[in-house]
Amino acid sequence: MPTPTLLQSIAITLIQCVLVVLFVFVVVPLTVFAERKVLGYLQQRLGSTRVASGHIGVTGWMNRGMWKWGRIPVLSYWRGIPGLVADVLKLILKEDIIPAKADKFVFFIAPAISMVSAVVVFAAISFVPGTFFVFPSWFPGLAGLPVAGGIADINVGLLWILGVASVGVYGIVLAGWASNSKYPLLGGLRSAAQMVSYEVPLAISLLAPVVLTGSLNFSEMAQRMATGLSAWGLVPQVLGFLIYLTCGFAETNRLPFDMPEAENELVAGFHTEYSGMKFGFFYLAEYINMTVVSALAAGFFLGGSWLLPFGLQGLVNHLLPADAWLAGPHAIFFVAKIVFLLFTYIWVRGTIPRYRYDQVMSVAWKYLIPLALVNLLIAAFVRCAV
Amino acid sequence: MFKNEEMEINLGPQHPSTHGVLRVKLRLDGETITHCKPVIGYLHRGVEKICENQSFFQGQVWTDRMDYCSAVANNLGWAEANEKLFGITVPRRAQYIRTLLNEFNRLASHLIWLATHALDIGAMTVFLYAFREREDILDMNEAFCGSRLTTTAFRIGGLREDLPPGFEKMARKFLAKFPTCLEEYENLLSENRIWKKRTVGVALLSADDAIALGVTGPVLRAAGVPYDIRKAFPYAAYSEMDFEVPTQTAADTYARYLVRMAEMRQSARIIQQCLDGLPEGPVMAKIPKILKAEVNEVYHATEAPKGEIGYYLVGEKGSANPYRFHVRAPGFINLQSLPKMAEGGLIADIVAAIGTLDIVLGEIDR
């Protein structure tokens, strides 16, 4: 393998960034679409099937085309896809209203903070350990160079993830504050309390993998959690996974913990006064955060890029030949797990009601934090015993 | 060192969970409600005054538009109040059909209540499940009288037409599947921990308070008072029906949920009895083309899905219009209890309280 020149490493890094951002911006709209369709089917309706009000012009052409293709059974599910394009166009083209009494600068940067902190987390997430693919020898300029499975597989990956992700709460709090309106203010206050509270059990539940693996590097942790533990590692993994997932739901403001934007109480919560692409940023940030939480859960608890979750891969790997395809890591497994967890988000939303604000807090402090500490203790025992 | 300031906030008139145009002025200490004052009148059309300027036949159209979720129950009260005023006896078959349609309407109204109440608390799937069943009931309304929501189902003296062919089959088909649908809702809610956390002990209204405030309907029955006009002062064909009045004693939102769910089962029972025992005969009494009143006044109360709906009618000698018309709207009087339920609770609780009162602003503002 040739040593890359400076220019080549820059190019490779850029390619990695583009790949990851591409992944995010493909998965997020599809999640939005899946939310409509899955909720629809959960509720015995069809979800979105067309672009609204489109029987003439471009949208009419799209609708006719989609309905034609939709006659093929499997494709009928995708009939609503043009609606996504229409939605994005609407968000971009819509008038961007800034309330007269708003704090303009803060109002402006709040959605950017939410969005950036959500995307930047992906820097430390590696989709597959080591090399993702190697450029073929005919490729001009980059022949034979490897592209890694993540942007920056740094040794303090988990710290980076937790640190940057917790900046996201500022976006919401500042949005609530800067709108200079009462419902957003209530939403902002709720989110400040809620997200700060839930970060504690979330971080503690992620400490268990740290204790078990003795590392903070994402891909190393994922690898050890998937393949390097004994059967005893199963207990802290399952318990930790449940705690982590609960906190993740709260961190991303999804039902049953969608306090900051509880529609039926606070109209739209912190983003009530936002419109146009600024609102679009919050909207995107929520879905990107869901993807982040799913990616971490997949990486640490569900076996990362290996097939089996909860470290079971390590238990069965010695039964497989060392070079078996199923024994190794593959990005497709990682993505499949993320997709499944995203589905879980929608599934839960379709099933259960919303907690009350004080109950949300008591769930965090009275149940999740003690449980997370017990989980950490179990992890420590497992670590010492093994 | 710290200054405590209460925040005043308007819940409504445009708000996702005030069921129309209710406006509630809230004073908040943090998230706790210290003061709550419902403000109404955004949907006021002067129904009572309009009816005074129209003939007795025409008034019913306006009763549709009061509580538009239970138009049939409003129609029934109006028709019977007029029949009382003019001393008309309605044929027995018409009585049965009225009872039948009224109970279907109770189901539709309770389904809307369940749907919106659950949605307010965040359970969005129940919303669409309940609307699915309500759709069938609206289809039956359509089969019977052509319209789905504002039915104008009855006429003074009976019915305009008999049940259409095929109606009984539709009704029986619905009854056959409805119990499983109820179970479906209950599976999603009854033992759901979050649902219980949000409803048990929330928006309490004791029996004494409820009686003092004039609250009727499921809210009163959930406080342990078995007062149901269908049993207490039977009208239509209810005296011939075998049904129970479900009550609970907890007087909270969850108890009201249980009462309404049980009421839906009882309604299905009544519908079954109506279908099985439907007598033959005419559906319209002989009445003059124009009804001219004597000096007379009546008050007729019926059990609408939301509580006691009473029609007070005063006749003027020789006039084809009522001299005075007043509606005792259950939603209006039940809404009085909102401050009692909500004060001291959290913002999320007032949403549950509004939902559990099952208000329709068309009826409150009239």
Residue B237 binned pLDDT confidence (cut-offs 50, 70, 90): confident
In a domain, A294, yes or no: yes
Kindly indicate the confidence band of residue B262, based on its pLDDT and cuts at 50, 70 and 90. Answer: very high
The residue in chain A having the minimum alpha-carbon distance to the alpha carbon of residue B117 is A264
Q: CB distance B122–A353 less than 8 Å?
A: yes
Q: How far is Cα A219 from Cα A129, in angstroms, rounded to an integer?
A: 6
d(CA B144, CA B167): 8
- Of the pLDDT bands very low, low, confident and very high (cuts 50, 70, 90), residue A362 is confident
Q: Which residue of A has its CA nearest to B14?
A: A267
In the predicted model, is pLDDT for residue A308 greater than 80?
Answer: no
CB-nearest to A43 from B120, B121, B128 is B128
Q: In this model, does residue A1 exceed pLDDT 60?
A: no
- In this complex, the residue of A190, A349, A353 whose CB is nearest that of residue B118 is A353
Nearest alpha-carbon partner for B94 in B140, B155, B158: B158
Alpha-carbon distance A43 to nearest alpha carbon in chain B (angstroms) = 6
Q: B266-283 as b/e, with b when 16 or more CB fall inside 10 Å?
A: bbbbbbbbbbeebeeeeb
Domain assignments of chain B as residue spans, ordered by start: 7-365
Could you tell me which CATH number the domain at B7-365 has?
1.10.645.10
- pLDDT at residue number B111: 92
Mutate to test the interface with A, among B24, B131, B347, B356 (most CBs of A within 10 A): B347
Q: Is the CB of residue B227 less than 8 Å from the CB of residue B234?
A: no
Q: Quote the mean pLDDT of chain B.
A: 87
Q: How far apart are CA A228 and CA A215, in angstroms?
A: 13
CA distance A278 to chain B (A): 22
Which of A258, A266, A352 is the best mutation test for B, with the most CBs of B within 10 A? A352
Confidence category of residue A53, pLDDT binned at 50, 70, 90: low
Q: Which residues of B252-265 are buried (b: 16+ CB within 10 A; e: fewer)?
A: bbbbbbbbbbbbbe
A74-96 confidence digits (pLDDT tens):
777 777 787 788 888 888 888 88
Chain B positions touching A263 (Cβ under 8 A) are 16
Chain B residues with CB under 8 Å of A256 CB are 122, 194
How close B196 gets to chain A, by Cα (Å)?
A: 10
Cβ-based contacts of B132 with chain A (< 8 Å): 44
Task: Name the residue facing B119 among A264, A350, A357 (closest C-beta).
Answer: A264
Q: Which residue is closest to A257 within chain B, CA to CA?
A: B122
Rounded Cα distance between B360 and B93, Å, is 31
Please name the residue of chain A whose CA is at the shortest distance from the CA of residue B133.
A44
Write down the pTM of the prediction.
0.84
The confidence score (pLDDT) of residue A264 equals 63
Closest chain A residue to B19, measured at CA: A264
Q: Which domain holds residue A323?
A: 98-385
Contacts of A258 in chain B (CB under 8 A): 122
Whether residue A289 lies inside any domain: the answer is yes
Q: Taking residues B342-361, what's their average pLDDT?
A: 86
Contact A43 B15 (CB under 8 A): no
Contact B121 A39 (CB under 8 A): no
Is A121:A163 a contact under the CB 8 Å cutoff? no
In a domain, A90, yes or no: no
Percent of the residues in chain A that have a pLDDT greater than 70, as a whole number = 96
Q: Stretch A365-370: mean pLDDT, rounded?
A: 90
Chain A interface disruption, residue of B5, B24, B124, most A CBs within 10 A:
B124
Report the residue of chain A nearest B15, measured CA to CA: A267
Each residue's pLDDT tens digit, A10-50: 888 888 888 888 888 888 888 888 888 888 888 888 888 77
The DSSP letter of residue B216 is -
The total number of structural domains that make up chain A = 1
- Contact yes or no for A256 and B17 at CB 8 A: no
pLDDT tens digits, A221-257 = 888 887 777 777 777 788 888 999 998 888 888 878 8
Summarised one tens digit per residue, pLDDT across range A148-191 is 777 877 888 888 888 888 888 888 888 888 888 888 888 888 88
**Which chain B residues have a beta carbon less than 8 Å from that of A363?**
none
In tens, the pLDDT along A137-155 reads 777 777 777 777 778 778 8
Contact A353 B121 (CB under 8 A): yes
Residue among B16, B17, B192 whose CB faces A353 most closely: B192
What's the pLDDT score for residue A263?
Answer: 62
How far is B38 from B36, CA to CA, in rounded Å? 7
Token pair 């929330």: residue? B202
A176 touches A101 (CB < 8 A): no
Q: Is the pLDDT of residue A341 over 80?
A: yes
Q: What is the pLDDT of residues B1-25, one digit of tens each?
A: 567 778 888 887 877 777 778 888 8
If interface means Cβ-Cβ distance under 8 Å, which residues of chain A face chain B? 39, 42-45, 182-183, 186, 190, 255-256, 258, 262-267, 349-359
Q: What is the pLDDT of residue A196?
A: 83
* Mean pLDDT over the full length of chain A: 82
pLDDT-derived band at A262, boundaries 50, 70, 90: low
| Option in A266, A355, A358 nearest B194 (CB) | A355
**Whole-number Å distance between alpha carbons of A79 and A82:** 7
Q: Is A352 in Cβ contact with B123 (below 8 Å)?
A: yes
CA A198 to chain centre: 16
Closest by Cβ to B197, choosing from A43, A262, A359: A359
A44, A183, A357: residue with CB nearest B31: A357
Residue B121 confidence (pLDDT) above 60? yes
CA distance A304 to A225: 8
CB pairs under 8 A between A and B: 82
Question: What tokens does A80 get?
Answer: 């609503």
Taking an 8 Å cut-off on Cβ atoms, the answer to whether A265 and B351 are in contact is: yes
Separation of alpha carbons B299 and B29, rounded Å: 44
Instruction: Please write the tens of the pLDDT for every residue from B140-195.
Output: 989 988 888 888 888 888 888 888 888 889 899 999 999 998 998 888 888 888 88
Given an 8 Å threshold on Cβ–Cβ distance, is B348 in contact with A255?
Answer: no
CA distance B279 to chain A (A): 38
User: B15, A255: Cβ pair inside 8 Å?
Assistant: no
Optimal mutation site among A35, A39, A264, interface B, most CBs of chain B within 10 A: A264
Residues of chain B positioned with their CB less than 8 A from the CB of A266: 347
Nearest-by-CA chain A residue for B118: A353
Compute the nearest-CA separation of B22 from chain A (Å).
14
Q: Quick check: A265 and B9 CB within 8 A?
A: no
Residue B157: what pLDDT? 85
